[in-house]
Amino acid sequence: MKTIIVGGVAGGASAAARLRRLDEHAQIIVMERGDYVSFANCGLPYYIGGEITDENHLTLQTPQSFKARFNIDVRVKNEVLKIDPKGKTVTVRDHKTRETYTESYDTLILSPGAEPIKPPIKGVESGRVFTLRNIPDTMKIKAYLDGHSPKSAVVVGGGYIGVEMAENLKNAGLSVTIVELADHLIAPLDFDMAADVHQYVKSRGIGLVLNNGVKAVQETGDHLDVTLDQGSLTADMLILSVGVRPETALAKDCGIHVNERGSIVVSPHMQTNIADIYAVGDAVEVRDYITQKPSFIPLAGPANKQGRIAADNICGLDSRYEGTQGSSVLKIFDMTVATTGINEKTARANGIHYDKTYIYYGSHAAYYPGATNMSVKALWDKTSHKLLGAQIVGFDGVDKRMDVLATAIRFGAKITDLAKLELCYAPPFGSAKDPVNMLGFVGENVVTGKLKQFFWHDVETLPRDGSVTLLDVRTATEVSRGKIDGFMHIPVDSLREHLDQIPKGKPVYVHCHSGLRSYIACRILTGHGYDCYNLAGGWRLYESVMHERTVPEYVCTQCK
């Protein structure tokens, strides 16, 4: 058996290694048009920022190491120009010798990846404008930083790569502004969870321009003039990070089915519509694990799994890819942002009848030094109670909790099942009631009717005409720092002594700082015959969202 793999990195390299482990005698050829067959593309921003100092650490495998360990023929700087499915051959250009040759195959795996989108903006061909996809891109940016000592940068796009680049350029000493067309950073987050991210990013000195796009870029002397839909910026360099598109012209030209986005359509076995041709990685259409609808979710973890599955099927194993749930984590200075599953926007778009809740809880026991709070949000199906998605913003311990939630979703857990999990506990690592358990407790209370919720987006529409009671149960010190208009104040610890101040027969809407004390207040009130609703996420979440909705647009020193 002879297998040709077009493209290396996550999908192609993992497929090649798996093939060899399954078949010692197979002939395996990897065609990679670039200089590197396997590199740490997720680590590229950290080399630019100086966190990774040795460029050799970015290279995971070389042609020589693949040959020595796996007996795989890796041909870098060899670009596949054409596929002939009938003749089962590929036409290849060797960019080192400039020769073109034909190679036959029994099976073919396509792993061409995705390329950065370059929007039709005037001036983006400037030598001061960069994208980041591979090691040569990285070295080009690093050389510009070292050779020109720029003082400022604009990053266009607030997704994972855009935010990571902003952080690392800031760490490299530049003044940085992110321009994002949407109303918040990190698209998998909902706006309410992104609000904390915005405040933290700005506190670290990064400019943030939301709901705005770039219209044109022009070199003026030694800097760039960046024209926005509203306003303008000046900078010494610009990073384009507005997303990626599947690089599938080669596949399309030979008759392989692609969808409207251009992603290669594959079966669960990673097979295309053409016999003996498979496709993996960022170039393929995946099925969203939650909605079961076609989607485009370019992530390294799924690409590695798909490469393994394609190799399995080539070798006769019935291995299937069951969908991508979008589990991801992001470092922003000291902050960690993690998501899995779907957010509210996706749930609404798919007509899913969902419920949600929030907690704000410590990373480990409060009495052990160094504990920090994390904001956690969960969505679940209102009928089946199955978890649909989760988002966490915090510092220490965020990745650990999100991995638990991602695993729970993969195995079909309900929100109430989280209360049953037995997780590791010691004061330096967690609490006896882990944040994941607490999320389950809250969800269980909602599902069983012990807790009625209202949300930050309901607050402004609550009547202030006396038909309902609005109650703040925080301490007087907390109230002095900020309050919601129209809410009367009775601390939770003195609530029983002041029940005569709360009219009977009217719904009571209660809030505290995080939602915990107000839940206790609701249980007290419910026990005395009141109909009580608790503000999910509490004052802390409400204030964070309202601050981001009302604060004047952040203006950096480069803004005009």
CB 45 within 8 A of CB 58: no
Q: Identify the helix (H) or strand (E) that includes residue 217.
A: strand 214-220
CA-nearest of 425, 408, 404 to 417 is 408
Give the whole-angstrom CA distance, residue 360 versus residue 332: 19
Give the whole-angstrom CA distance, residue 387 versus residue 442: 13
Give the whole-angstrom CA distance, residue 415 versus residue 413: 7
Beta-carbon neighbour count of residue 166 at 10 Å? 31
Beta-carbon neighbour count of residue 274 at 10 Å? 17
Reported residue count of the chain is 560
CB 486 within 8 A of CB 468: no
Beta-carbon neighbour count of residue 447 at 10 Å? 16
Strands 488-489 and 152-156, by their bridges, are unpaired
Beta bridge partners of residue 373, listed in sequence order = 362
Q: How does DSSP classify residue 497?
A: G
Give the residue carrying structure tokens 């902003």.
166
Active site residues: 42
Please give the distance of CA 275 from its chain centroid, rounded to a whole number. Answer: 34
CB 355 within 8 A of CB 377: no
